[in-house]
């Protein structure tokens, strides 16, 4: 009699019964640990061991998702090799980041039966294979909102597929891990919240709708210890009984609608102690009682209020003129900004006009400071007479006045206002037996168009006022937003430039110069590039700043050192060609700088230990403005550099408006025709004639010529007609990094040797 099927059925039922018993035991164990509030690491460690005990041959692990949701961190894996655990700790999740990385990324179970041949493990398979791990099944651990918390994985030392029971087991493990993680984090937040609640430096009390105190921190108990001794009820109406009724009514209206409220009120500490408070009330819905609860955050600001009253009384007005002072103006502007959003969402606009008396120092110097004070009083009175009642006027400096014009005003209205003010000031008056007539330089900025905070709007108006002075005084200048942007950008770049060399942010690029008839590279121009914070900063932006600050001297020396290093490297490769290096006029500006420039080459020759310094491979590119200085010392310096073997080239020739006599008398070897001339040859015969004249003149003076900025075939053909032997421009090559430039020269050399 065949009993095989019955025996198999009995074994299967027994296995399922044992599995269920084990499952219950696992749930019981983890739940017990959760209720005890044991550390998360301890619970995950126990869970891994329970799963491994259920499934012999399994080596399990728990990985936790990082706070930024991008990496997996070690949770528990007691039986995986330490080297492997360390290697995967911090691994970025992704579709091709192994089993766990993919499971966390896709939020789906990831079964990999054969690690060695699975695409998900292509980048990382050496790690598990070295540890003897050949298959990995990973289940994402999700919270109650289906958000991934981490992964639970089962590893095996053989190529292996999961059974139905295996899948149930890994899913169960993920659920238990989720329970442990969520409960652990919840308890951590609860403990942290309790500590914060009790450590707050301001009073906090939580009440229900019947004003019963549900919880209160020590500061609140101290604040109300005299008046509310039992702390069972918080009589809010009595506590706020000395506050403005309309504000208290607004407070309770907000709370009745479930809205938060904040403001400054009066609080009753006891019958004889009224304090100023800052009150912030938040409405919290209690899901257990289905009632609203209220969190009252109370700050005693009595000391600050008293100090403000004293300070405001003493400092808000100018004693000489009776006008508001700078502080009051600033606070008023800040208040306007704080309430600048109207009901429809539009900002409350205003204009700020700064007026500075022209030549006031001369008045003080000639009439004396006492009479100068009289002038200031008269100006203040005349300004008051000429402005509408809604305009705030302040004296914010010795002879500087500010007017705040509320609302949106047209340009015509603002100009009309200025004209009225100046007409009033132009009226004659006598001070110190002197018949006087005043004028003022005025700058105007508009909020929010020119700036969106008080400091900036003041700065904008001040800058506009300085522009008015620069334009001859006695006029009105509107702020130009571009001026401010340029100033801020320049200040920012100047700050970064100071550390650019130390931070290795500079790099040299090379633009080949070619023979237009053979297309052979015959030399190259060295170009400075600045990469800050991963972005290229245009030389047009940072070179003027470097020149103005004097940093260009150090930067120029760095450029020449790097260029020389390139020359030596090319010599070693038998690829040497001349390099043109731009030199700022600032580096020749004084006799000391000229001596430093020459001393640099002596020092660098000694530093590199060169007996035969490659001067002949260096061309220094200067600008026409240097020729216009006509200093004998500059001529001597350039003559010495040429004597050593260097070439001197005049860059961007034709744009500096220099005299031809400068070119005749200056020690130069080459001119570079500026690209602005090259790119206009298609505009007409006169532009072509200009280039032909430059070429003819250069050849008469025995100067070599480089045409820069050649970008089109038509431009190239014209240059070739002039028999110019050196061309630079995008038609042939753009500037390139050193490695690309070296490779280009190597290919050219190889091509030449082949032919």
- Rounded to whole angstroms, the Cα distance separating 80 from 281 reads 53
Reduced to 3 states, what is the DSSP secondary structure of residue 394?
strand
In sign, the C-alpha dihedral spanning 82, 83, 89, 95 is negative
Cβ burial, residue 446 (10 Å; 0-12/13-18/19+): buried
Distances in Å between the alpha carbon of 622 and those of 79, 310, 544, 719?
71, 64, 15, 23
- Rounded to whole angstroms, the Cα distance separating 148 from 139 reads 10
- The pairing of strands 476-478 and 71-76 is unpaired
Chain centre to alpha carbon of residue 579: 37
Q: Among the residues of 411-453, which ranges form H helices?
A: 411-426
- Rounded to whole angstroms, the Cα distance separating 499 from 630 reads 34
- Rounded to whole angstroms, the Cα distance separating 724 from 726 reads 6
For residue 743, what are the contacts with CB-CB under 8 A and spacing of at least 6? Answer: none
Report whether 443 contacts 354 (CB < 8 A). Answer: yes
Report whether 450 contacts 479 (CB < 8 A). Answer: yes
- Rounded to whole angstroms, the Cα distance separating 115 from 128 reads 8
Short-list 523, 735, 747, CA closest to 616: 523
Report whether 105 contacts 96 (CB < 8 A). Answer: no
Give, in degrees to the nearest 5, the angle at Cα 754 between 752 and 755: 65
Short-list 530, 611, 617, CA closest to 571: 617
Which element (helix H / strand E) includes 447?
Answer: strand 440-447
How would you classify residue 214: left for phi > 0, otherwise alpha for psi between -120 and 50, otherwise beta? Answer: alpha
Short-list 218, 298, 289, CA closest to 266: 298
Within 13 A of 594's CA, how many CA atoms are on the CB side? 16
- Rounded to whole angstroms, the Cα distance separating 491 from 511 reads 30
Instruction: Catalytic residue, from 525, 547, 708, 715: name it.
Output: 708
Mark whether 42 is an active-site residue: no
Short-list 115, 122, 116, 130, CA closest to 94: 122
Short-list 652, 649, 657, 662, CA closest to 703: 649
Short-list 373, 370, 368, 397, CA closest to 320: 373
- Rounded to whole angstroms, the Cα distance separating 192 from 174 reads 27
Backbone angles phi, psi at 124, to 5 degrees: -120, 5
Q: Own/partner pairs for 102-106, CB < 8 Å, 24+ apart?
A: 102/138, 103/138, 103/139, 103/140, 103/151, 103/153, 104/63, 104/65, 104/72, 104/140, 104/148, 104/150, 104/151, 106/140
Q: Which positions are catalytic?
A: 708
């Amino acid at each position: 009699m065949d009993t095989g099927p019955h025996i198999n059925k009995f074994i299967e039922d027994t296995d399922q019964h044992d599995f269920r018993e084990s499952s219950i035991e696992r749930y019981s164990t983890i739940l017990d640990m959760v209720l005890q509030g044991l550390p998360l690491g301890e619970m995950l460690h126990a869970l891994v061991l329970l799963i491994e005990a259920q499934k012999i041959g399994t080596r399990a692990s728990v990985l936790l998702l990082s706070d930024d949701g991008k990496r997996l961190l070690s949770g528990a894996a007691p039986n995986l090799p330490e080297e492997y655990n360390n290697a995967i700790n911090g691994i970025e999740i992704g579709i091709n980041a192994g089993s766990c990385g993919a499971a966390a990324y896709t939020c789906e179970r990831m079964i990999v039966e054969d690690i060695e041949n699975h695409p998900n493990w292509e980048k990382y398979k050496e790690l598990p294979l070295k540890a003897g791990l050949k298959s990995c099944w990973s289940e994402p651990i999700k919270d109650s909102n289906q958000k991934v918390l981490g992964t639970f994985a089962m590893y095996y030392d053989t190529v292996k597929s999961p059974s139905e029971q295996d899948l149930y087991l890994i899913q169960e493990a993920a659920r238990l891990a989720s329970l442990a993680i969520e409960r652990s984090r919840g308890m951590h937040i609860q403990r942290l919240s309790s500590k914060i609640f009790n450590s707050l430096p301001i009073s906090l009390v939580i009440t229900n709708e019947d004003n019963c105190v549900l919880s209160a921190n020590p500061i609140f108990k101290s604040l109300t210890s005299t008046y509310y001794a039992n702390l069972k009820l918080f009589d809010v109406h009595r506590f706020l009984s000395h506050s403005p009724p309309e504000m208290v009514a607004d407070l309770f209206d907000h709370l009745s609608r479930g809205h938060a409220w904040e403001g400054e009120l009066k609080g009753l500490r006891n019958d004889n102690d009224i304090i100023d408070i800052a009150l912030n009330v938040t409405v919290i819905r209690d899901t257990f009682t289905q009632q609203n609860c209220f969190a009252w955050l109370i700050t005693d600001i009595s000391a600050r209020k008293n100090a403000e009253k004293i300070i405001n009384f003493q400092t808000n007005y100018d004693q000489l003129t009776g006008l508001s002072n700078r502080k009051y103006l600033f606070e008023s502007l800040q208040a306007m900004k704080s309430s600048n959003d109207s009901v429809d969402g539009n900002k409350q606009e205003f204009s700020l006009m700064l007026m500075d008396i022209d030549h006031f120092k001369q008045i003080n110097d000639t009439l004396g400071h006492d009479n100068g004070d009289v002038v200031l009083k008269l100006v203040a009175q005349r300004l008051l007479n000429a402005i509408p009642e809604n305009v705030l006027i302040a004296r914010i400096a010795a002879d500087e006045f500010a007017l705040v014009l509320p609302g949106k005003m047209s340009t015509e209205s603002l100009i009309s206002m200025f004209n009225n003010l100046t007409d009033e000031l132009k009226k004659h008056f006598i001070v110190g037996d002197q018949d006087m007539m005043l004028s003022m330089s005025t700058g105007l900025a508009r909020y929010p168009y020119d700036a969106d905070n008080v400091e900036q709007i003041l700065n904008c108006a001040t800058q506009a006022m300085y522009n008015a002075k620069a334009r001859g005084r006695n006029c009105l200048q509107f702020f130009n937003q571009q001026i401010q942007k340029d100033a801020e950008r320049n200040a920012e770049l100047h700050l970064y430039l100071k550390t650019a060399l130390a931070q290795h942010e500079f790099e040299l690029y090379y633009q080949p110069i070619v023979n237009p008839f053979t297309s052979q590279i015959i030399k190259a121009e060295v170009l400075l590039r600045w990469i800050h914070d991963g972005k290229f900063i245009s030389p047009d932006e940072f070179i003027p700043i470097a020149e103005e600050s004097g940093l260009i001297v150090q930067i120029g020396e760095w450029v020449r050192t790097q260029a020389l290093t390139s020359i030596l490297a090319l010599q070693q490769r038998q690829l040497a060609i001349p390099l043109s290096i731009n030199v700022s006029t600032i580096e020749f500006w004084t006799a000391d700088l000229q001596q430093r420039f020459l001393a640099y080459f002596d020092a660098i020759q000694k530093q590199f230990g060169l007996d035969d310094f490659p001067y002949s491979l260096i061309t220094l590119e200067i600008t026409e403005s240097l020729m216009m200085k006509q200093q004998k010392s500059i001529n001597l310096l350039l003559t010495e550099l040429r004597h050593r073997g260097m070439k001197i080239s005049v860059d961007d020739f034709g744009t500096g408006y220099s005299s031809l006599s400068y070119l005749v008398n200056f020690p130069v070897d080459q001119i570079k025709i500026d690209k602005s001339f090259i790119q206009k040859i298609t505009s007409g015969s006169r532009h072509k004639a200009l280039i032909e004249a430059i070429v003819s003149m250069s050849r008469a003076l025995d100067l070599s010529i480089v045409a820069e900025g050649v970008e089109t075939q038509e431009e190239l053909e014209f240059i070739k007609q002039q028999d110019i032997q050196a061309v630079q421009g995008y038609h042939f090559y753009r500037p390139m990094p050193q490695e690309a430039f070296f490779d280009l020269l190597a290919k050219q050399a190889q091509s030449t040797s082949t032919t």
